[in-house]
């Protein structure tokens, strides 16, 4: 063993193996925003299909919007956590899951509340089945758009604040 020394071998890629990254925080924020918006759009599609189906089968606006919101929120947690914020492994219950449920719960209440309010306001109009579904769906979807920016900011700054930041390759220009 004489003459041998303990060398530490780095498993990190060398500069030649990985693209250069920008050290500016803004592009990374924009990448996270884009990825969160994309995962949110997918979740919204799931929610929309659930909402329309439940309303078509005669469910009330409160029940339909609550179940629809939940149907989208569950896959959105895992997709956004992994893709937008780069988190892997089991989520920490206190550090990620509970704060996520609080943020999502608040935005869910806004969506369900606005959809329920629209149901109450349109009930005296006695809208036909399809027209009623379109009106309630439009309100539900609009509430998603309204709260998305607030939801992203809370998730980015509170829930996933310690997430590994996404590396963004510099453009060739």
Query: Does the structure show a pLDDT above 60 at 164?
Result: no
Mean pLDDT of 157-162: 79
Tell me the pLDDT band of 49, cut-offs 50, 70 and 90: very high
Token representation of residue 160: 């996933």
Q: Report DSSP state, residue 125.
A: G
Q: What sign results for the dihedral spanned by CA atoms 57, 58, 63, 64?
A: positive
The mean pLDDT value for 28-55 works out to 90
Say whether pLDDT at 46 is over 90: yes
pLDDT > 60? residue 36:
yes
pLDDT band at 162 (very low <50, low <70, confident <90, very high): low
| pLDDT tens-digit series, residues 78-113 | 888 888 888 888 878 888 888 888 888 888 787 778
How far is it, in rounded angstroms, from Cα 12 to Cα 2? Answer: 29
């Amino acid at each position: 063993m004489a003459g041998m020394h303990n060398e530490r071998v780095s498993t990190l890629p060398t500069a030649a193996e990985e693209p250069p990254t920008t050290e500016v925080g803004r592009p990374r924020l924009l990448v996270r925003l884009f990825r969160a918006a994309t995962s949110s759009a997918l979740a919204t599609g799931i929610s929309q299909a659930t909402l329309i189906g439940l309303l078509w089968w005669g469910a009330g606006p409160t029940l339909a919007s609550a179940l629809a919101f939940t149907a989208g929120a569950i896959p959105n947690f895992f997709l956004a956590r992994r893709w937008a914020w780069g988190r892997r492994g089991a989520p920490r219950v206190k550090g990620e899951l509970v704060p996520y449920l609080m943020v999502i719960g608040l935005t869910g209440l806004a969506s369900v509340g606005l959809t329920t309010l629209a149901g109450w306001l349109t009930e005296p109009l006695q809208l036909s089945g399809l027209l009623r579904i379109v009106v309630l769906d439009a309100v539900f979807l609009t509430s998603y758009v309204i709260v998305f920016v607030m939801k992203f900011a809370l998730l980015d700054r509170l829930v996933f604040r310690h997430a590994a930041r996404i590396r963004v390759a510099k453009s060739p220009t």
